[in-house]
Amino acid sequence: MDETEQPQDGPTPSPPAPGDDPFDELGRLLLRGGTLEEVLARLTQLVAGSVRGADGVSLTVTGGGGARTAASTGGLAVALDEQQYASGRGPCLDAARGATVVRVADTARDADYPDFAAAAREHGVRSSLSVGLPARSRVPGALNLYRVDAPVQVDAEGEQLASLFATFAAVALVNAAGSGAQAARTRYLHVAVRNRALIDQATGIVMAQEGCDADRAYDRLVERSRSADRPVLEVAADLVAAVDRTTGERPD
């Protein structure tokens, strides 16, 4: 790695340790339970440290509520991303949409994205490369590399490396989406335990109120919920809350 190729934007990222594969480092970070933000932030730093000409690096995610920058090496990349989001047009958006590679070889001559090219020139950026995340991962997005000094984009080897990083980013995003589902299931279990307890306790209160058995008490709860046109759970929660109010605080 050429030491002169340090990015000029944001805090200087530590390059991969000598002899260390940046993908190994990312894998270890994932295994250690690093958060998605940590993994993606480190990923953009490693791209900047490993790909020649990657002076500003960002990861655009376009799923859900519009495009946003999930991670970046700093203000330069963020500014150029946001110019594209605001105008609704730009190489990173096209790369994300088509899951393809979009190059802007020279911002001084580019005809495809005149607004982006103008904004890039203002920031001193001469070329860019956006690598769309693989379509099969179903997370639309792009890894963006902005180059300051030269009108010629990163070389083929760099582009291949950038594609590998893009794939890794997609894997991390997909995994995080999966763990979001797991978190929802954990909440479901908590709710399942609490709701059962509430309905059971309310059943007991009705049993004591009416001197009936559990089945009859549950039926009474359902009747109350029907006539009040409210869910059984709410009726139960109100009963328990009322009892806890009238029995007051513990004396201790």
Partner 1 sequence: MELVERFTRSWMAEAADDGGELLPSVLARAAAAVLNADGAGLSLMSGPGLRLPLGASDDDAATAERLQFTIGEGPCFEAFAAGRPVTVTAGKLQERWPSLAPEHLGRTPYRAGLSVPLRQGAERFGVLDLYLRGATAPEGHDVIAAQLIAEVVAGVLLETIGPDAGEGDAPSPGSPSAWLDSPAIRRRRDVWVAVGMANLKLHLSSDDALATLRGHAYASGQTLDELAREVVQDRFDLQELRADAEP
**Which residues lie below 8 Å from residue 240, measured CB to CB, with a gap of 6+?**
198, 201, 202, 205
Ordered alpha helix ranges (H), 88-139 = 91-98, 114-122
d(CA 120, CA 142) in angstroms, rounded, equals: 17
Compute the chain's Rg from CA coordinates: 28
Residue closer to partner 1 (CB basis): 87 or 186: 186
Residue closer to partner 1 (CB basis): 108 or 183: 183
Give the footprint of partner 1 on this chain (CB under 8 A): 179, 181-183, 185-190, 192-194, 196-198, 200-209, 213-214, 240, 243-244, 246-251
Give the nearest distance from C-beta 247 to partner 1 in angstroms: 4
Determine the longest span between alpha carbons in the chain, in angstroms. Answer: 87
Give the nearest distance from C-beta 199 to partner 1 in angstroms: 8
Residue closer to partner 1 (CB basis): 162 or 199: 199
Residue closer to partner 1 (CB basis): 6 or 195: 195
Supply φ then ψ for residue 6, to 5 degrees. Answer: -60, 140
Residue closer to partner 1 (CB basis): 1 or 214: 214
Give the nearest distance from C-beta 197 to partner 1 in angstroms: 5
Give the nearest distance from C-beta 221 to partner 1 in angstroms: 11
Give the nearest distance from C-beta 234 to partner 1 in angstroms: 16
What are 11's two structure tokens? Answer: 């805090």
Identify whether the C-beta of residue 59 lies closer than 8 Å to the C-beta of residue 169: yes
